[in-house]
Amino acid sequence: MSDRAEVRIGISGWLYPPWRGKFYPKGVRQADELEYASRHVTSIEVNGSFYSLQRPANWVRWRDAVPADFVFAVKGPRFITHLKRLREVDAPLANFFASGVLALGSKLGPVLWQLPPNLAFDEGLLDAFLAKLPRTHGAAAALARHRDRRMTGRSAFALNAPADRILRHAVEVRHPSFETDAWRSLLERHRVASVIADTAGKFPRLDWVTADFAYARLHGEKELYTSGYDEESLERWEAWVRSHLEAGRDTFVYFDNDVKVRAPFDAMALIERLSA
């Protein structure tokens, strides 16, 4: 493996009632579940940010609950991707980066943008959106200054990392029209990662290298959000991870098969394989 490349294996979200008593031992308070999960995986996707803007205090609390070398991926707001559909998003992007996410500092990993299944590939629209994404913490803070008035009293964008620290972005698509060389070229030009999504065959599976890191979301191999990953499947994903590490690419893998409490155990199993 490359001495430079790092692998992060984790789960998409951590607040799931069915996990209590199965992954989270009885007696673990809900307020302590993030801290518990962070000792068993090496990264977590924050998916609450997809549904609504989080308050600055949340980001600080999450940052302080995890180990010093922990990394969060952060899911961009559905207001931008699903409601605005990537159009007229200057203010929403500013609001997102003003909401406190930069408080994560060195613990801020890639920002994930998941596009809706009914959004088809539009080269001009996607090119304009990708061009707006800040590529450093300093650029994100500068963008945050253009937040709108409704953010008054709930903004925080002071830097908690060097201004030139790289801010990575990854895009997960769900419409078949994205299976085109034009989309791949666009991602390469903007140095944005193409998410490989394992979705039991429901959505496109784009296993492309378009950036200096790789990003996978495992939603279930046989049944979406439900089925777990057996030893043979984990062996394949282990090989996928190792191939990227050997090429010098940081690699992020998140299990989102949470319905039957498979995600944390599958993540831990893959971590164990890669640690062997």
Tens of pLDDT, residue by residue, the chain (276 residues): 345 899 999 999 999 999 999 999 999 999 999 999 999 999 999 999 999 999 999 999 999 999 999 999 999 999 999 999 999 999 999 999 999 999 999 999 999 999 999 999 999 999 999 999 999 999 999 999 999 999 999 999 999 999 999 999 999 999 999 999 999 999 999 999 999 999 999 999 999 999 999 999 999 989 998 989 999 999 999 999 999 999 999 999 999 999 889 999 999 999 999 998
10 Å CB burial of residue 145 (0-12, 13-18, 19+) is exposed
The two tokens of residue 206 are: 């784009």
Cα 241 to Cα 275: distance, rounded to the nearest angstrom: 12
Residue 87 main-chain phi, psi, to 5 deg: -105, 140
Domains, the chain, with CATH or none: 7-275 (3.20.20.410)
Do residues 95 and 108 lie in contact, with contact meaning Cβ atoms separated by under 8 Å?
A: no
> Which residues, in sequence order, are bridge partners of residue 211?
none
Residue 218's DSSP bridge partners are 198, 255
Outline where 7-74 has alpha helix (H). 33-38, 48-51, 56-65
Enter the tokens of residue 116.
Answer: 């809706």
* 222 beta partners: none
| pTM of the shown model | 0.96
Helix (H) or strand (E) holding 72: strand 71-75
